[in-house]
Amino acid sequence: MIGNWRWNAIAGAAGALLILLVSFSSNPYSTTMYRIAISFTVFFIVTFAVRWMIGQALAPPLSGATDERAAEGDDEAGKGRAIDLTTPEDSGGDPDFNPLTPPRYVTNSAPETVEHHDPEMLAKAIRHMSDKESS
């Protein structure tokens, strides 16, 4: 945890002083003292919780040698404390596969170049387009 119990006491006293200043003029003495005690307690506990959360967030990752559970052989000891940003090597797959190199298709930019294309390929393309339209 960050700090010590004095931070809790200071926060509790500050909250109690704030409530005293707000509540003193419009409430009887007993009600004001009751509210001061409650506000001191609430501020003390909230400060303790905030200190604990900050301490958990800023704590260094556990090392396997110093952690008691790791010494006992528990594999769960350091999980969730650190992020492994390395990517494993690709162990199996198609060696000829290139994900960002699609096959090249012949494009037709002008009508006069149609006669230069293979008629079989043009027929295939028309059949393929007509199948897509009927589906």
Q: What is the tens place of the pLDDT at every residue in 10-38?
A: 999 999 999 999 998 899 999 999 999 99
The model's pLDDT over 76-130, given as tens digits with 9 standing for 90+, comes to 666 777 777 777 666 666 667 666 755 666 665 655 555 566 778 888 888 888 8
Is 37 among the domain residues? yes
Domain count of the chain? 1
Per the CB < 8 A criterion, the answer to whether 67 and 82 are in contact is no
Is 105 among the domain residues? no
Is 43 among the domain residues? yes
Domain that holds residue 45: 5-61
**Tokens 């699609």 sit on residue:** 102
Is 25 among the domain residues? yes
DSSP-derived 3-state class of residue 25: coil
Is 116 among the domain residues? no
The pTM assigned to this predicted structure is 0.45
